[in-house]
Amino acid sequence: MMSRNALLRSGKGLGIPATAREEDKKTKLKVAALAPAEDRQSHFALRKGVRCAGVHLIIDLHGAKHLDDLEHIETTLRRCVEAARATLLHIHLHHFQPNGVSGVAVLAESHISIHTWPDAHYAALDVFMCGSADPDACIPVLRAAFSAKRVGVNEILRGHGA
């Protein structure tokens, strides 16, 4: 049997089951039907003239609020998906005890993940999207939703040259 991983050693309570939201309780985003393979455009992204597998934004929110509010986090992830013109497949959020949230919005174009430390007023997010989705559109949504005093963004072009 494998030893406890770093997440389990973090000291945050994992005894309470994860919160997986029922999609039928929320307004669903349209899920695009897949076109036949020969009709689909490349799922690669084009960024400043560079073809890559996708654009990966590493986002740090400092001085942020509402970082322990599952409803607010889910609503914000949905707003990011809409702003980026992406396709939501599933959202899964886990609320840690005594506080903090980790979660992911799985997209047809990849994902948005969030990890929060409410006591430090800090959240770390990954926004990775391929195709024509616009990951940059998530930044103002996140800044406003979490009232972040400072936002740091690093960009990685994944699969450059692939």
pLDDT of residue 50: 86
Domain annotation covers residue 32: no
pLDDT of 141 > 70? The answer is: yes
Active-site annotation holds for 72 = no
Mean pLDDT in the chain? 82
CB atoms within 10 A of CB 47: 15
Q: Which position among 72, 115, 121, 132 bears the catalytic label?
A: 115
Q: How far apart are CA 110 and CA 150, in angstroms?
A: 26
Domain annotation covers residue 98: yes
Domain annotation covers residue 126: yes
Alpha-carbon dihedral sign for residues 2, 103, 111, 108: positive
Domain annotation covers residue 26: no
Q: What is the DSSP letter of 57?
A: E
Active-site annotation holds for 80 = no
Closest-CA residue to 157 (of 42, 27, 17, 58): 58
Bridge partners, 105 (sequence order) = 91, 112
Query: What is the tens place of the pLDDT at every residue in 27-65?
Result: 444 555 554 544 345 688 888 888 889 999 999 999 999
pLDDT of residue 46: 83
Domain annotation covers residue 146: yes
Q: How far apart are CA 69 and CA 84, in angstroms?
A: 23
Predicted TM-score (pTM) of this structure: 0.76
Domain annotation covers residue 118: yes
Closest-CA residue to 156 (of 132, 117, 130): 130
For helices 70-84 and 138-145, give the axis angle rounded to 10 degrees.
Answer: 160
Q: Which domain holds residue 132?
A: 41-158
Biggest CA pair distance of the chain: 50
- Count of the separate structural domains present in the chain: 1
Of residues 133 and 35, more confidence is placed in: 133
pLDDT of 1 > 60? The answer is: no
pLDDT of residue 160: 84
Give the phi and the psi of residue 9 in degrees, each rounded to 5.
Answer: -80, -5
Domain annotation covers residue 22: no
Which helix (H) or strand (E) is 60 found in, with range?
strand 54-62
Active-site annotation holds for 110 = yes
Domain annotation covers residue 121: yes
CATH code for the domain of 153: 3.60.90.10
